[in-house]
Amino acid sequence: MKITTITIGLSRTVSLPGYENVKPSISFTAEPGPDDNQAKIVNELNILCQLYVNEQIDEALEGADQSPRFYCGTLYTAHRWEQAHAIVMLTKGIDVDELPGDWHAITGSPVRKATALERARREAKKANWDLWDWSARGAEKVLEWWNARTWYVAYRLDRWLDHWEHEPAQIVVVSAAAEARDWDVTGLTRPRDDDLSKLSYRPRQLEEILKLIPPLPWMVADDEPALRAIVADWQAANPRPDPSGTAGLQGPQSGPIDDERDYDPEEDPGP
């Protein structure tokens, strides 16, 4: 028997979200010469088929926001880092929940670097943010950037008008905001725990805090003891009125400056 052509084909099916399937297929044909090793040709054609089909499947999976199935290299993730106003690329395995700040995934699953970079560039352009490829140093670089800055959280001290109504009267900006998120704010003001409330639910740079606070007198407390002293002085100078003698007085109310969502302390992940 004389073999004049060799044809190898391959087809695979993979399921995608939404009950969709993708089924790439390919075939290659070769004409062996009289001195060619036909078994070697068959093996090489088979490898070509697998490379093509596997690549098509990986592209389809990444297009559906899933990790590639056949790619064996390093995978990457891209995230929005709110405090930095930057899109950050990291390698697979870094848990952003353990990093300071507020992170929002752009890639739902780890993907190849070209795919992650494409999505990160698109998101950075849309938000007009910087794009940082920190995949080489990962968490170390994130912590270095974070620790080089001082973060702040703003609190509002309220002046009571009657037993139920109060108005904002002064803003206290507290530094070391990463730690401030863990403070027991109600413990500073008990039993009148409505005198002090948090205005910013995530740490910010001072310039950003000052843009968001209401036009009220404000001061900076360097740490929790300083905040406690301010609250104590405030309470001494602004005793809560007897409700029996001040009924009917009304005052403006003030909500949190983070008005992009309703705040639930149980759901706030914190840095």
Rounded Cα–Cα distance for residues 79 and 81 (Å): 6
- The pTM of the full predicted model, rounded to 2 decimals, is 0.66
DSSP code at position 204: B
Per-residue pLDDT of the chain (271 residues; tens, 9 = 90+): 677 788 888 888 888 877 788 888 888 888 888 887 888 988 999 999 999 999 998 899 888 888 999 999 999 999 999 888 999 999 999 999 899 888 999 998 999 999 999 999 999 999 999 999 999 989 999 999 988 888 888 888 887 776 667 776 788 888 765 555 556 665 665 545 557 777 776 788 888 888 877 788 888 887 778 888 887 887 777 776 665 554 333 333 444 444 444 444 444 444 4
Which residues are within 8 A (CB) of 227 and not within 5 positions of it... i.e. 6 or more apart? 155, 172, 174, 183, 188, 221
The token duo for 190 is 């008990």
